[in-house]
Homo-oligomer: A and B are copies of this chain.
Amino acid sequence: MAQEKNSVVVFSAHSGDFVWRAGGAIAKSAARGDDVHVICLSFGERGESQGLWRQEGMTMDTVRRVRREEASSAAEILGASTDFLDLGDYPLSVDESAFDTVVDLLRQYQPNTILTHVAQDPYNRDHNMAHEVLLRARMVAQAMGHQTENPPIGAPQVLMFEPHQPEMCGFSVDLLLDITDVFDLKRRAMECMGAQSHLIEYYTDLAVRRGVQAVRNGGSKSITHAEAHARLFPVVGGELV
C-alpha cells in the first residue's frame, strides 16, 4: 500500500521553538515525504535572543534579520517551508489581520497534523497565546461559512511539543516519537541557531533520555533518540495502539 502524503503545520511562537522542541518531528515527517510548514509568529527578537543582545551595538533590525536567517537555515535542513508573521514577542500580539493570515495559511496548507505549544506555561505566556490562537484559527478554518479561496480544513490532530519545564506546565506525554534516524538532521538544525553549545547539549541529552524512556515503554531497542509530544484530540484508528 502506497503511503499517503500528509501535511504538517508547526505553529511556533518564536522562531527558535520549532527547532528545539519539534525538530525531530519535522525531519521525521519530511523524510517520509510529508509537506511540513513552519509558521513563526515572531522572531523571538526580544525574549529569546540573549546571545545576540549580548553583542556590542546590537540593533533590533539586526536581531530580526539574523534570527530569520537562522530559522530559515534550520527549517531547510529539517525539510520544512517557513512563514514569518513578524508579530513581535514578549508579548506576542495577534491582531485581527494577523489572525486572518493564520486562518488563510491553515486553509492553504490543509494540515492533517498541527504541532504547537502547551496551553499553560507560567514562565512563558507567549507560548500559551500561540496555543490559543491556533485553536481559534483551526476552528475558523473549519467553518463552511468562512469563505476564502481555499476550502475549509478537516479536523487535524493537535500535538503539543515538550515545554522547557514540563512538570510546571501539566505536560503529560502521549507520544514518544522515535527520531533516531533523523537526529543528525535535528542536531545540524540546532547548530544553525547561534545558541550556546550548552543548549544543543541540553536538547541532545533530552532526546537521549526520551529515547531511553521510549524503550522502557515498550519501544524497539534500536531507539536511541526520541521527542515527547502530548495530544489534544483523540486518535482515530483501527489498531489497538
Q: Residues on A close to B: CB < 8 A?
A: 6, 8, 25, 28-29, 32, 45-47, 49-50, 52-54, 60, 63, 89-91, 99, 112-113, 115, 122-126, 132, 135-136, 139-140, 142-146, 154-159, 165-168, 170-178, 202, 205, 209, 212-214, 216-220, 223, 226, 228-229, 231-241
Q: Max chain B CB contacts within 10 Å: which of A63, A156, A239? A: A239
Sample of 18 more A-B contacts, CB < 8 Å, known A91-B99, A205-B209? A54-B144, A89-B143, A113-B241, A122-B135, A125-B139, A154-B218, A155-B218, A165-B173, A170-B172, A174-B235, A175-B240, A176-B234, A214-B234, A218-B233, A218-B236, A220-B236, A223-B236, A235-B241
Assuming the A-B contacts A90-B146, A99-B91, A218-B156, are A47 and B140 also in contact, with contact meaning beta carbons closer than 8 angstroms in the complex? yes
Rounded to whole angstroms, the CA-CA distance of A89 and B52 in the bound complex is: 40
Assuming the A-B contacts A145-B53, A217-B234, are A171 and B167 also in contact, with contact meaning beta carbons closer than 8 angstroms in the complex? yes
How many identical subunits does the complex contain? 6
B contact residues around A173 at 8 Å (CB): 165, 167-168, 234
B contact residues around A124 at 8 Å (CB): 139
Rounded to whole angstroms, the CA-CA distance of A215 and B32 in the bound complex is: 25
B contact residues around A63 at 8 Å (CB): 145
A217 near B237: Cβ-Cβ < 8 Å: no
Assuming the A-B contacts A8-B240, A46-B146, A99-B91, are A168 and B157 also in contact, with contact meaning beta carbons closer than 8 angstroms in the complex? no
